Amino acid sequence: MSETEQQVISKQRVAQHGEVLTARREVDAMLDLVKQETERLDSRFLEPACGTGNFLIAILERKLAVIERKLAQQEKQLKKAEKRPGWKSLFYDPNSLVAVGSIYGIDILQDNIEAAKERLIEFYIENYKRVVEVDPDPNLLASVRFILDKNILLGDAIHTHESVTVPGVPGLDEIIFTEWSRIGDEFKRREFRFDAINLDGQEASSKTPVQRNLFGEIDERYSQMSLFDEDSVEPTADILKTDTGKEIYKSRPVKDYPLVHYLHIANGK
């Protein structure tokens, strides 16, 4: 572990919230197990007890590194005349928003949420200046902040609102996550209830899916998360049949927004 890594903030936080942050070496080893996914820009990751974002930052780093490599390839292929001022931003900006929009976190402590978002934005800016070699457009940064505000949320990832242990913290049935999808230079935004989001590989017919949640407890409702695609056990979902006859749950969005240009994402509400 590096000397600057602090895994325990206080004994009280460990006792109350089980807060022991994961060291970078372990984060990298775990992410290597799903390396291909961490390098796919739109592959979605949720850390349901994200702390200060140790996994989220490492995932963002990996995804932005992919964009950097693609940019370097383009630079070699483009002729001098084709490299008009700003060409790097035109490629980097929307792709980097796909990467930012693909990471999600929940934590029960507000200071962790703020710290995670701050780390992510700071890393984004620092990386942007190094790779794109200019300062990011303020509108782009507003889009990044807006997406992070929608994706990294205060909440209790175990309890419903009636049984949350920390007053004022939304229960898992009150958490709304946003799906971001890029279509050219525009983004589609749809909102889903967290407790209606799918849970990977869960067929409609499977009555007793069992899996351990992030805290090691058995959660009867959820299997491994795969955000937004299909599979929900909530009534906010439809049951669809695939061409092989398998029944799957398809979450229904609670809200759907018009397409918006990537520099104007923050103009939405």
Ligand X SMILES: C[S@@+](CC[C@H](N)C(=O)[O-])C[C@H]1O[C@@H](n2cnc3c(N)ncnc32)[C@H](O)[C@@H]1O
Where on the chain is the footprint of ligand X (CB under 6 A)?
A: 17-22, 47, 49-51, 54-55, 106-109, 112, 156-158
Q: How far is the CB of 42 from ligand X (least distance, A)?
A: 22
| Nearer Cβ to ligand X (50/60) | 50
Q: How far is the CB of 26 from ligand X (least distance, A)?
A: 8
Smallest CA-to-CA distance from 151 within 189, 185, 183, 96 is with 189
Closest residue to ligand X: CB criterion: 51
Q: How far is the CB of 146 from ligand X (least distance, A)?
A: 23
| Nearer Cβ to ligand X (152/196) | 152
Q: How far is the CB of 123 from ligand X (least distance, A)?
A: 16
> 13: helix, coil or strand?
helix
Smallest CA-to-CA distance from 65 within 34, 102, 40 is with 40
Task: Note the Cα 211 to chain centre separation in Å.
Answer: 21
| Nearer Cβ to ligand X (50/140) | 50
| Nearer Cβ to ligand X (98/106) | 106
| Nearer Cβ to ligand X (111/238) | 111
With a CB cutoff of 8 Å and minimum separation 6, the contacts of 69 are none
User: Mapped to the 3 state alphabet, what secondary structure does 193-243 carry?
Assistant: EHHHCCECCCECCCCCCCEECCCCCEECCCCCECCCCCCCCCCCEEEEECC
Q: How far is the CB of 6 from ligand X (least distance, A)?
A: 11
Q: What does each C-alpha distance from 26 to 29, 35, 55, 87 come to in angstroms?
A: 5, 14, 10, 37
